[in-house]
Amino acid sequence: MTSKDASQAMADFQIMTKPIGPICNLDCTYCYYLEKENLYTDKKSFRMKDELLESYIRQYIQSQSSPTVTFSWQGGEPTLLGAAFFQRVVELQAKYCGSKRIENAFQTNGTLLDDEWGEFLARNSFLIGISIDGPEDVHDAYRVDKGGQPTHARVLRGLDVLKRHKVEFNTLTVVNRKTSYQPLEVYRYLKQIGSRFLQFIPIVEEIAAAPDKSGLRLLKPYAPSQTEVSEWSVEPLQYGIFLQTIFDEWVRTDVARVFVNLFDVALESWMGMDQSLCVFARTCGSALVMEHNGDLFSCDHFVYNDNKLGNILERPLATLAGLPQQVKFGKAKESALPKFCIECDVRFACNGECPKHRFLKTPSGEPGLNYLCAGYKHFFHHIDPYMQFMAGELKQERPPANVMAWARNRNV
């Protein structure tokens, strides 16, 4: 790698940090990360040690060329560490930030939030992602605690803490098989509870008949073990219908009032911009994951031993992020696309989506087709005229929200 390449790698990567690893107080049926505990069978504690925390914060800040450095904290469930742990995070960030601005994003199930948390998060301007799948019956179908008990009411109590303390939040909703058949109920409910920034994440998992040598049953595409798609995974076309149904309401009533990440990124595609969401970007590899002990992996969905890049206490973080192994991983998203995808008319918007979902074969038998292909084709074809209109408005320096009147008149 040349010095120029290394500098670019250092400037571009982001880290999702797991300071408590896969440990969580919930036992969500569809969670892909809980079983990662099997990768660390010798561990009695998954709490990140202070010396590692300090080294990570120092290295990450130093590796970023941007004047703003964003730390992303996830789990498992990071609130299990307590607010005092993140007070230490803030102190270390202040110690090493220099002239850079520090931002913190924090993903939580919300069930452990209380006023101590609310005061801390508000005082330190944390952006909180709340995991909630919709109304009570939808949410509690899969999101249960270790005793199998529902969690919806506890999530709402946590959300109320954020609202009382005026903490900025968005919602993350997993689109599973049950959710996908209630799109408007889910969308309207999220608006009802005050969410104005919505993330929809499709759940797709292959389950092996038997665990691999690491004790994992949720495997990578084309794993040698026999696998089948889980019963909670969203169906391909139904996912596209889910997105289309919400889009049709949003494009007539909520543009510029409610922000849906998938719709925003689609508009980037129609504008000819680089997509800001990794699953739709042409290449990937710049969004890495660090476990509680400093192990760095290629991606949140590729936390497997053969995707481990090393440990930041043994080799510098920036060096690991720029390893040829990781560069190859990122470029393979584009280079491994089958001909069927390369010739697709919505490739510019999809780019084959996440490599984790590419375990089908094309009609001609070529490997590498995304499981969700039918849904994305349905969705992107449907939104094309609306996206063309909004892109045209932006290019003319007019508000894209003009699409709402245009959309309503179009179907009169």
DSSP H/E element including 83: helix 83-96
What's the burial of 362, exposed, middle or buried (CB within 10 Å: 0-12/13-18/19+)?
A: middle
Quick one: pLDDT at residue 315? 97
Quick one: pLDDT at residue 3? 36
Quick one: pLDDT at residue 223? 83
What is the b/e burial string over 150-168, where b = at least 16 CB atoms within 10 angstroms of the residue's CB?
A: ebbebbbebbebbeebebe
**DSSP-derived pairing of the beta strands 101-108 and 127-131:** parallel
Could you tell me the two tokens for 284? Answer: 């990937």
Quick one: pLDDT at residue 6? 40
Geometric angle at alpha carbon 179, from 176 and 183, rounded to 5°: 130
- Alpha-carbon distance of 128 to 155, in angstroms, equals 13
Residue pair 236/242 in contact by the 8 Å Cβ criterion: no
Query: Is 300 a known active-site residue?
Result: yes
Could you tell me the two tokens for 399? Answer: 């508000």
- Alpha-carbon distance of 299 to 307, in angstroms, equals 8
**DSSP-derived pairing of the beta strands 287-290 and 14-17:** parallel
Quick one: pLDDT at residue 187? 98
- In a 13 Å sphere around the CA of 109, the CA atoms on its Cβ side amount to 25
Of the candidates 12, 145, 160, 300, the residue annotated as catalytic is 300
Instruction: Please name the residue that has the structure tokens 């090493």.
Output: 96
Q: Which amino acid does the sequence have at 16?
A: M
CA 265 to chain centre: 13
Residue pair 170/212 in contact by the 8 Å Cβ criterion: no
What's the burial of 350, exposed, middle or buried (CB within 10 Å: 0-12/13-18/19+)?
A: buried
What's the burial of 54, exposed, middle or buried (CB within 10 Å: 0-12/13-18/19+)?
A: middle
Residue pair 136/152 in contact by the 8 Å Cβ criterion: yes
- Alpha-carbon distance of 143 to 145, in angstroms, equals 7
Quick one: pLDDT at residue 231? 96
Collect all residues with Cβ–Cβ distance below 8 Å to 4 and sequence separation of at least 6: none
Could you tell me the two tokens for 92? Answer: 């270390």
Collect all residues with Cβ–Cβ distance below 8 Å to 392 and sequence separation of at least 6: none
Quick one: pLDDT at residue 16? 98
Geometric angle at alpha carbon 260, from 391 and 135, rounded to 5°: 155
Residue pair 208/219 in contact by the 8 Å Cβ criterion: yes
**DSSP-derived pairing of the beta strands 360-361 and 308-311:** unpaired
C-alpha closest to that of 206 among 191, 224, 193:
224
Per-residue CA distances from 74 to 43, 149, 194, 367 (Å): 19, 23, 22, 32
Instruction: Please name the residue that has the structure tokens 């290295």.
Output: 59
- Alpha-carbon distance of 72 to 62, in angstroms, equals 16
Geometric angle at alpha carbon 35, from 33 and 38, rounded to 5°: 130
Quick one: pLDDT at residue 131? 98
Could you tell me the two tokens for 83? Answer: 């607010």
**Domains of the chain: residue spans and CATH:** 3-336 (3.20.20.70)
- Alpha-carbon distance of 184 to 180, in angstroms, equals 10
Please report, in tens digits, the pLDDT of each residue of the chain (412 residues total): 333 344 344 457 999 999 999 999 999 999 999 999 999 988 789 999 999 999 999 999 999 999 999 999 999 999 999 999 999 999 999 999 999 999 999 999 999 999 999 999 999 999 999 999 999 999 999 999 999 999 999 999 999 999 999 999 999 999 999 999 999 999 999 999 999 999 999 999 999 998 988 899 998 888 888 899 999 999 999 999 999 999 999 999 999 999 999 999 999 999 999 999 999 999 999 999 999 999 999 999 999 999 999 999 999 999 999 999 999 999 999 999 999 999 999 999 999 999 999 999 999 999 999 999 999 999 999 999 999 999 999 999 999 999 999 999 987 4
Question: What SS3 state is found at 16?
Answer: strand
